[in-house]
Structure 1
Amino acid sequence: MKKRYYYLDHLRVCLTMLLVFHHAAITYGASGSWYYVELGVTGIAPIVLTLFTAVNQAFFLGLFFFLAGYFTPSSYERKGPARFLLDRFVRLGIPTLVYVFGIGPAVIYMANEQNETFGQFYMHNIATFKVITWGPLWFAEALLYFSIVYCGYRFIQKWLGQRKKPSLVQQETAASSAESITKFPSSRFLIAIALLIGMIAFMIRLLFPVGESILGMQFGYFASYIVMFIGGIHAYRNGWLERITTSQAKRWASISGIVIWILPIFLVTQGVLSGKPMQVNGGMNLQSLVYAFWEPFVAVGLCLGLLVLFREKWNRSGAFFQELGSAAFGVYVIHAFILVAVSKGASTLPLPALVKWMAVGTASVMISFAVSYVLRKIPAVNKVL
């Protein structure tokens, strides 16, 4: 049994905090879709916050899927397929349903001026399925599907293994091969993967542009999500997290630090600041192509850099950090309601957009973790969150 890496829990907590600030950034001018957007934001704030959210989108949800993939094999092997799937349905399915039919409708009602009571709004829109909001819980939905596919893969793997038992020579060859792949992938291999993700993402976005979703999921981003989830599984199997070298992580972080600026500079040369349309979301055009390849090269460096940084600097535990880690998923589920409530409450404050973003983001993070902590004290809720 592999030891627990505390730094992965801490990384997940920080990614959750970043998620709240990401959605707060859309509230105050960044490009993207969110429940409540403050009108009249001008100046430099929309540019700064759009770059912030673009960089986040390139790596942090993929890193969430990587961490989920990393812990999937051990959970499956510890519980067995039946208990594993039941646990996934409870821990992912129930929060998703609660959000779709409870939290999400409340957020929509709160975010928009209504001429009817919440009960009337619910009966007219939610009960009739006229409005379905998945919100951030599309991630839990997608992870549930990934878990089902993983169980199917393990079943097929076991079935094939029973049908054809390998000879002693084949077993030795397989063992030797397994040992040879424990080394963390080379930079050349990572470049190839990044190029592959970019090409697949570009092609997917010809049919499913960024911004268009099915059952709450934007397929335009799923090339990286699938690869990162699979990468997490292989990282667990091969001990890759211990084998990422500091020099390799620093090299890739430097590459990403340079690549980050390529997209905004390119878009400026395309005239987006002077009113020309931005076409990065999809289609047979140069902007979409550049954006599709920009994302994975940003992601590789930031993901490796963060994994090594947290491994080297924050691989320790404590009661406070353990509580934060335990509350993180609850924050993921409830933060939309809290963020919209806080941002609407702060709408009359005469503060610059960037200052308000920081203040509202910080307050929403603190309140979300506090509420999640309290909710987890309820026995029935604790089994889900």
Structure 2
Amino acid sequence: MSTQNSLSVDLVAESTQDSALRNSGLDALRASLTLLVIFHHCAITYGAIGGWYYHEVAPEKSLASVVLVLFCTINQAYFMGLFFFLAGHYTSRSIERKGPARFLTDRFLRLGVPLLVYGLLIGPVTIALAQTSQGHTFVGTLSYLWHKGTFESGPMWFAEALLIFSVGTILWNLAFRRRDASPGNRAIQGKLPSDLMLGVGAVLTGVAALALRSFWRVGVNVWGLQLGYFSSYVVLYSAGFATAHAHWIERLPKEQVRLWWRIALIALPILPLVYFIGGHFPGLRGRPLSVIYAFWEPFVAWGTILFLLDGFQRHFHKLVGLWRPLCRRAYTIYIIHPPVLVAVALTWRHVPAYPLVKFVATGSLSCVLCYLTAGVLLRFPRLASIL
């Protein structure tokens, strides 16, 4: 039941004790994307395509469903990739500051423990809650899931993936430590990616996506991971890690941001247009659409990611008002949002209302409730040390 969305990468940033080293713009961006995750899953609840615990409105050809499908498709193109890029960026600095052993210990604590808690408790509870809409009892379903030994990773697939990436990064560093430390390699790391490099990276990412999807089509899970999306995740995580020393993310060239944002805007309507035209020309559906989708994603993603990174850093020089507690609670909000969102949707499922109205209302109320609940949970010192 997992979707390739995500969780706030507050878990991959430095600890709250290092707030002086934090980038307020990136913190605000992570928090905003975490709330977007809630709305993403809310869209699936009310008519978009995707895996989620509770579907109140099935995907159809109505205007509301089309709008929500487009909303989720555009989200999927960039926001998980952005999370992985930030993860790679912070990983580089964290390894240098903590060392390999302490870094991995921290990752297993902050990623592994929440993953286990979600898989064994929160995930089954959410499934049982959603099943009440089908006439099943909450307690009966939950007992059955626990008796069967169900482990439901759900959106915490991202924590699982980051654990794998973290271990892989440490092994890479140990294997190539001398080469990475050479003056020539440090000079390469200090260079900013050119537009040509970004373009070649986008094309190769599309090629890799096609290769992966020939084995695991979009929607197929392997241990909770949709491997068909992982070409961009690996590329962006690696890019974040490789450019950390150059501080590229903090000093993005304005010309580069403008160029790739224009490219994203030009590419954006291509996929929807091909899809709708395919309704009249069936030959465009199937393999041609899959090829377009594979290359469409990175070209939309690169520009959107650069645009958001640049915009948030320019507008958030410091966190004020609700932004500070929201950033602190983002990871917790992500972990607890599935049962909260499902519960809110179930509460007024019998009330007749336009799906887009329900989408806005349910998503907004769920964000507020998750924010308040996260604040309560973080009052417990042991939870706060992990979350």
Of 204, 217, 221, which residue of structure 1 is paired with 2:212? 204
User: In the alignment, does 2:66 pair up with 1:39?
Assistant: no
Contact 2:128 2:138 in 1 (8 A): yes
Query: In the TM superposition, what is the alpha-carbon distance from 1:246 to its structure 2 partner?
Result: 1.8
Give the aligned partner of residue 144 of structure 2: 124
> 1:185 and 1:146 mapped to 2: Cα distance?
22
Of 54, 58, 66, which residue of structure 1 is paired with 2:73? 54
User: In the alignment, does 2:372 pair up with 1:354?
Assistant: no
In the superposition, relative to structure 1, how do residues 299 and 40 fare at CA in structure 2: closer, same or farther (>3 Å)?
A: closer
Query: In the TM superposition, what is the alpha-carbon distance from 1:126 to its structure 2 partner?
Result: 3.2
User: In the alignment, does 2:222 pair up with 1:214?
Assistant: yes
In the alignment, residue 311 of structure 2 is paired with which amino acid?
L
- SS of the residue 1:127 aligns to: helix
Query: In the TM superposition, what is the alpha-carbon distance from 1:120 to its structure 2 partner?
Result: 3.9
Query: In the TM superposition, what is the alpha-carbon distance from 1:286 to its structure 2 partner?
Result: 1.0
Query: In the TM superposition, what is the alpha-carbon distance from 1:324 to its structure 2 partner?
Result: 1.2
In the superposition, relative to structure 1, how do residues 369 and 124 fare at CA in structure 2: closer, same or farther (>3 Å)?
A: same
In the superposition, relative to structure 1, how do residues 360 and 83 fare at CA in structure 2: closer, same or farther (>3 Å)?
A: same
Give the aligned partner of residue 296 of structure 1: 298
Query: In the TM superposition, what is the alpha-carbon distance from 1:317 to its structure 2 partner?
Result: 2.3
Contact 1:28 1:46 in 2 (8 A): yes
Give the aligned partner of residue 109 of structure 1: 128
> 2:184 and 2:248 mapped to 1: Cα distance?
17
> 1:7 and 1:20 mapped to 2: Cα distance?
21
In the superposition, relative to structure 1, how do residues 319 and 148 fare at CA in structure 2: closer, same or farther (>3 Å)?
A: farther
In the superposition, relative to structure 1, how do residues 275 and 34 fare at CA in structure 2: closer, same or farther (>3 Å)?
A: farther
Structure 2 unaligned segments of length 5 or more: list them: 1-17
Query: In the TM superposition, what is the alpha-carbon distance from 1:3 to its structure 2 partner?
Result: 4.1
Structure with larger Rg: 1
User: In the alignment, does 2:45 pair up with 1:27?
Assistant: yes
Give the aligned partner of residue 378 of structure 1: 380
> 2:67 and 2:135 mapped to 1: Cα distance?
36
Contact 2:131 2:141 in 1 (8 A): no
Residues 41-91 of structure 1, C-alpha deviations (whole Å, 9 max, x = no match): 752011111111001001000101111111112222222222211111110
- SS of the residue 1:304 aligns to: helix
Q: Give the paired residue count.
A: 367
> 1:362 and 1:276 mapped to 2: Cα distance?
40
User: In the alignment, does 2:198 pair up with 1:185?
Assistant: no
Segment drifting more, 98-107 vs 110-119: 110-119
> 2:21 and 2:145 mapped to 1: Cα distance?
48
User: In the alignment, does 2:95 pair up with 1:76?
Assistant: yes
Give the structure-2-normalised TM-score: 0.89
Alignment of 1:311-350 (within 5 A): 311-318=313-320, 320-350=322-352
> 2:78 and 2:330 mapped to 1: Cα distance?
18
Of 266, 273, 277, which residue of structure 2 is paired with 1:265? 273
Query: In the TM superposition, what is the alpha-carbon distance from 1:141 to its structure 2 partner?
Result: 0.7
Contact 2:44 2:51 in 1 (8 A): yes
User: In the alignment, does 2:84 pair up with 1:65?
Assistant: yes
> 2:31 and 2:246 mapped to 1: Cα distance?
25
> 1:369 and 1:44 mapped to 2: Cα distance?
31
> 1:204 and 1:308 mapped to 2: Cα distance?
31
Give the aligned partner of residue 7 of structure 1: 25
> 1:253 and 1:361 mapped to 2: Cα distance?
28
> 1:133 and 1:23 mapped to 2: Cα distance?
16
Residues 201-227 of structure 1, C-alpha deviations (whole Å, 9 max, x = no match): 011001001111011100000001111
> 1:176 and 1:152 mapped to 2: Cα distance?
21
Structure 1 unaligned segments of length 5 or more: list them: 280-284
- SS of the residue 1:383 aligns to: helix
Give the structure-1-normalised TM-score: 0.89
In the alignment, residue 265 of structure 2 is paired with which amino acid?
G
Root mean square deviation of aligned Cα = 2.3
Segment drifting more, 41-50 vs 200-209: 41-50
In the alignment, residue 324 of structure 2 is paired with which amino acid?
Q
Of 206, 224, 232, which residue of structure 2 is paired with 1:224? 232
In the alignment, residue 121 of structure 1 is paired with which amino acid?
T
Residues 160-198 of structure 1, C-alpha deviations (whole Å, 9 max, x = no match): 56xxxx9xxxx9xx5366335534212111110000000
> 2:211 and 2:58 mapped to 1: Cα distance?
36
Residues 234-269 of structure 1, C-alpha deviations (whole Å, 9 max, x = no match): 221211123311222122112111211000100111
> 2:205 and 2:239 mapped to 1: Cα distance?
13
Contact 1:213 1:219 in 2 (8 A): yes
Contact 1:183 1:243 in 2 (8 A): no
Contact 1:346 1:360 in 2 (8 A): no
Give the aligned partner of residue 282 of structure 1: none
Alignment of 1:78-97 (within 5 A): 78-97=97-116
In the alignment, residue 289 of structure 2 is paired with which amino acid?
Q
Query: In the TM superposition, what is the alpha-carbon distance from 1:119 to its structure 2 partner?
Result: 4.7
In the superposition, relative to structure 1, how do residues 111 and 55 fare at CA in structure 2: closer, same or farther (>3 Å)?
A: same
Alignment of 1:238-253 (within 5 A): 238-253=246-261
> 1:275 and 1:30 mapped to 2: Cα distance?
22
> 2:136 and 2:355 mapped to 1: Cα distance?
31
Contact 1:184 1:243 in 2 (8 A): no
**Alignment identity in percent?**
40
- SS of the residue 1:330 aligns to: helix
In the superposition, relative to structure 1, how do residues 268 and 81 fare at CA in structure 2: closer, same or farther (>3 Å)?
A: same
